[in-house]
């Protein structure tokens, strides 16, 4: 039986997607060629990338609103740099909610003045700062919607007149938002979308072309828009598998459907964390992530016993990030509710036998 996979990323993908992706590696479209040995300019692959790009806009409700979807490389980490390269003329505002925001800030500082509007570093990023002010004279405001490492998630986004840029790497396609409030969204594929190797960028075209610097082609959004995401060879396997996951999500009923499942899953786990005296949830309750739930044992002496139990229960990927320790259960779109139940069962068994 397949393991209950709580890995933070790369992470669980739907079984049907893995099956179709592996078949395509051997024989794509019944053409007796592999997906990864045909030209990216051939019609079968151009159809794939076009389909993937339009599924992204459809699922996010951004069709015919001036947005372009791009499949780039270099991970979300390259977007820390690329967003600033393309959008930062003089000054930008950033909200610091953890490791990934801090890395984005570090890169953007190479290009201009940075205003850190608020930070939750004072409490090891266990909450989302609120009531901060975004200066009106900045080129954009950047935030991280879900903090994969700490297990916090922004539940609302500031009203602002400056362009809104968001790293949605770990919660894209997981909940309904008014995506048209965002001017640029980026996300590494390897959580809710596909395998590592491609990064999704959704950008409102009108915000581009306003910086004075010359942008190298490989870092220039406009170049990729003009070439329909094919300025150079795209990561064909990652794009194809992402397309399959997007089709899977659409067939299920889209974000509206999956959001309900995600809420059920996280409610099941957080209820147990709150009920069971052996476990502590360490982030502000109102900021708890529906994707990554972090928790610790109340008594560290139970560590070995708990670790043995969840391994024996066929569970994978529960250790917290190396920078925070404890446990982290990542409940991305493809994780079934019964996997969360399996974890809750182990937590209850620990309580009975400790």
List, by residue number, the catalytic residues.
Answer: 100, 167, 191
Determine whether the annotation assigns residue 76 to a binding site. Answer: yes
Cβ-based nearer residue to ligand PMP, 76 or 244: 76
Each residue of 25-62: b (16+ CB within 10 Å) or e? eeebeeeeeebeebebeeeebeebbeebbebbbebbeb
SS3 letters for the chain? CCCEECCCCCCCCCHHHHHHHHHHHHCHHHCCCCHHHCCCCCHHHHHHHHHHHHHHHHHHCCCCCCEEEEEECCHHHHHHHHHHHHHCCCEEEEEECCHHHHHHHHHHCCCCEEEEEEECHHHCCCCCCCCCCCCCCCCCEEEECEECCCCEECCCCCCCCCCEEEECCCCCCCCCCCHHHCCEEEEECCCCCCCCCCEEEEEEHHHCCCCCCCCCHHHCHHHHHHCCCCCCCCCHHHHHHHHHHHHHHHHHCHHHHHHHHHHHHHHHHHHHHHHCCCEEECCCHHHECCCEEEEEECCHHHHHHHHHHHHHCCEECCECCCCCCCEEEECCCCCCHHHHHHHHHHHHHHHHHC
The footprint of ligand PMP (CB under 6 A) covers 9, 75-77, 100, 144, 148, 167, 169-170, 188
Answer yes or no: are the C-beta atoms of 170 and 149 closer than 8 Å.
no
Select 95 or 346, whichever has its Cβ closest to ligand PMP. Answer: 95
Work out how close the CB of 9 gets to ligand PMP at its nearest, in angstroms, rounded to a whole number. Answer: 5
Nearer to ligand PMP, 83 or 169 (CB): 169
Find out whether 190 is annotated in a ligand binding site.
yes
> Any binding-site annotation on 189?
no
CA separation for the pair 274, 276 (Å, rounded): 6
CB of 321 to ligand PMP, least distance (A): 9
100 appears as a binding residue in the annotation? yes
Closest to ligand PMP by CB, 153 or 339: 153
Tell me how far, at minimum, the Cβ of 153 lies from ligand PMP, in Å.
10
CB of 291 to ligand PMP, least distance (A): 10
Closest contact distance (angstroms) between CB of 72 and ligand PMP is 11
Return the residue nearest ligand PMP (CB atom): 75
Give the shortest CB-103-to-ligand PMP separation in angstroms: 7
Does 148 show up as a binding residue in the annotation? yes
Q: Which is nearer to ligand PMP, 294 or 346 (CB)?
A: 294
Known binding-site positions:
41, 76-77, 100, 148, 167, 190, 232-233
Known binding-site positions for pyridoxal 5'-phosphate:
76-77, 100, 148, 167, 190, 232-233
């Amino acid at each position: 039986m397949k393991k209950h996979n709580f890995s933070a990323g790369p992470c669980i993908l739907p079984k049907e997607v893995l099956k179709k992706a592996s078949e395509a590696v051997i024989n794509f479209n019944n053409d007796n060629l592999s997906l990864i040995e045909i030209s990216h300019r051939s019609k079968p692959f151009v159809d794939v990338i076009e389909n993937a790009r339009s599924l992204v806009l459809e699922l996010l409700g951004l069709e015919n609103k001036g947005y372009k979807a791009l499949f780039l490389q270099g991970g979300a980490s390259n977007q820390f740099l690329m967003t600033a390269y393309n959008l930062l003329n003089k000054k930008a505002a950033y909200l610091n909610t953890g490791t990934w925001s801090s890395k984005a800030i570090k890169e953007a500082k190479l290009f201009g003045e940075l205003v850190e509007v608020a930070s939750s570093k004072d409490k090891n990023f266990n909450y989302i700062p609120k009531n901060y002010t975004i200066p009106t004279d900045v080129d954009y405001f950047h935030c991280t919607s879900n903090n994969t490492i700490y297990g916090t998630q922004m539940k609302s986004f500031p009203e602002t007149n400056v362009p809104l840029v968001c790293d949605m790497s770990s919660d894209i396609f997981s909940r309904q938002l008014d995506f048209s409030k965002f001017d640029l969204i980026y996300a590494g594929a390897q959580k809710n979308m596909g395998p590592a190797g491609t990064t999704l960028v959704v950008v409102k075209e009108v915000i581009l072309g306003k910086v004075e610097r010359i942008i190298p082609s490989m870092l220039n959004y406009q170049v990729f828009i003009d070439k329909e995401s094919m300025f150079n060879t795209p990561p064909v396997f990652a794009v194809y598998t992402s397309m399959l996951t997007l089709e899977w999500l659409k067939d299920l009923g889209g974000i509206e459907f999956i959001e309900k499942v995600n809420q059920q899953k996280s409610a099941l786990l957080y209820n147990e964390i709150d009920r069971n005296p052996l476990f502590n949830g360490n982030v502000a309750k109102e900021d708890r992530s529906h994707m990554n739930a972090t928790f610790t044992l109340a008594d560290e002496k139970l560590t070995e016993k708990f670790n043995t139990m969840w391994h024996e229960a066929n569970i994978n990927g529960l250790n917290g990030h190396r920078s925070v320790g404890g446990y982290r259960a990542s409940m991305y779109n493809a994780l079934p509710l019964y996997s969360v139940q399996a974890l809750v069962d182990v937590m209850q068994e620990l309580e009975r036998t400790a």
